[in-house]
Amino acid sequence: MPGKRLSELAALVGGTVRGEGSATITGAAPLGEAGPGDVSFAAGKKHAGLISKTRAAAVVVRDAGGAPDGLNLILVENPEIAFARILGVLRPQTLPAPGVHPGAEVHPGAKLGAGVSVQAFAVVEDGASVGDRTVLFPGAYVGRGAEIGPDCVIYPGVAIREGCRIGARVIIHCNSVIGSDGFGYARDRAKYIKMPQAGIVRIGDDVEIGACVTIDRATMGETVVGRGTKIDNLVQIAHNVKVGEDTVLVAQAAIAGSARVGSRVQVGGQSGVNGHISIGDDVGIGARSGVAQDVPPRSIYTGYPAIPHADWLRAQNVYSKLPELKKKIAELEKRIAELEADKAEKE
């Protein structure tokens, strides 16, 4: 790992050095694990206690408060973003070089942009196009007429089915599937007749999609994931779903068919959203929740069926005391019976 001077890193993120700008930084580590040569970062209460004891060579912080006197600092507005940039420089990812590997299969009717990398056993079908500098790792599959924007990274085993549209700077991790058929059938008494799934999936710019994610194509029209949205591993997005911008779907979440999820929404891990409902903008859905009805903007819902988070906390609080409550009721009943007996006696 090549070293960088602290002053160089500070300049990179528009920060100012407190301490020794000439210090050499060779690595990066969390505050509690950092050693000599490592840069780290501190933000929020979680780090407040750790910074006084860190062995890091330098720490990226918003202000010097709490940092011991001898500790080198980079002072910057948003330490987490600055650290992300520094980490990218100290530990750069090596992507495959441009060029089409002789073991790849690119159809003559496909269009490849400048500087594209197509690795061994990747397939680009007829009529598909791949934007400038995009990387297709080994075994990636791009179906007929699919379009991928520039500067994307498509990891091994990803399948992008025919006709789907992927924006710019999109990252798709290994073995995810974009554009599988939606789960739609017509009923013929007990039998299911397949409804053709003739639509596509459209993925906006700057979306990141985890590993083994499945996003189904629309029956007609488009399944949409908006710009900047981040999708964790093993998430399911059904046909005709519309997901807004800068939304986060945590691992194993599932959005059922034709649901709408707004922008700047956070859907917790292992949560589910019913089909044909609508979640407003700026909503938070707790982990392991099941959303059965529309959720208004700027609200937090939890539980199954999901209810406003505060209500859920209250109900949950009583839930664990149900056995006591039951006992209490039995006791009250006894006391009432005594009062009634007493009354009967006197009459």
Q: Which of 53, 70, 193, 345 binds its own copies (CB under 8 A)?
A: 193
Q: Of these residues, 101, 173, 239, 276, which one is catalytic?
A: 239
Look up residue 62 and give its DSSP letter: S
Q: The tokens 């206690």 sit on which residue?
A: 49
Classify burial at 26, counting beta carbons within 10 Å of its beta carbon; exposed 0-12, middle 13-18, buried 19 or more: middle
What is the C-alpha to C-alpha distance for residues 101 and 118, in angstroms, rounded to an integer? 6
Stretch that binds its own copies, among 2-10, 48-56, 59-67, 182-190 (CB under 8 A): 182-190
Q: Which of 58, 203, 254, 261 binds its own copies (CB under 8 A)?
A: 254
Task: Give which of 190, 183, 188 is closest to 223, Cα–Cα.
Answer: 183
Stretch that binds its own copies, among 14-22, 61-69, 110-118, 230-238 (CB under 8 A): 230-238
Q: Which of 211, 278, 299, 300 binds its own copies (CB under 8 A)?
A: 211
Q: Does 341 bind its own copies (CB under 8 A)?
A: no
Classify burial at 108, counting beta carbons within 10 Å of its beta carbon; exposed 0-12, middle 13-18, buried 19 or more: exposed
Q: Does 246 bind its own copies (CB under 8 A)?
A: yes
Is there a contact between 163 and 130 (Cβ–Cβ < 8 Å)?
A: no
What is the C-alpha to C-alpha distance for residues 282 and 328, in angstroms, rounded to an integer? 42
Bridge partner residues of 124 (DSSP): 106, 142
Count other C-beta atoms under 10 Å from residue 289's C-beta.
25
Q: Does 150 bind its own copies (CB under 8 A)?
A: no
Count other C-beta atoms under 10 Å from residue 207's C-beta.
24
Helix (H, G, I), strand (E, B) or coil at 341: helix
Distance in Å, CB of 173 to its own copies, minimum: 4
Task: Give which of 183, 184, 147, 182 is closest to 162, Cα–Cα.
Answer: 147
Residue (120 or 300) nearer to its own copies, CB: 120
Token duo for residue 200: 């596509």
Distance in Å, CB of 21 to its own copies, minimum: 23
Q: Which of 7, 26, 180, 299 binds its own copies (CB under 8 A)?
A: 180
Stretch that binds its own copies, among 3-11, 18-26, 54-62, 313-321 (CB under 8 A): 313-321
Q: Which of 75, 100, 234, 277 binds its own copies (CB under 8 A)?
A: 234
Q: What are phi and psi of 73, to 5 degrees?
A: -130, 150
Total residues interacting with its own copies, rule: CB under 8 A: 111
Q: 106 to 125, contacts with its own copies by CB under 8 A?
A: 119-121, 123
Q: 23 to 82, contacts with its own copies by CB under 8 A?
A: 28-30, 33, 78, 80-81
Distance in Å, CB of 76 to its own copies, minimum: 12
239 is catalytic: yes
Q: Does 191 bind its own copies (CB under 8 A)?
A: yes
Stretch that binds its own copies, among 4-12, 17-25, 58-66, 299-307 (CB under 8 A): 299-307
Q: Does 188 bind its own copies (CB under 8 A)?
A: yes
Q: The tokens 């912080």 sit on which residue?
A: 61
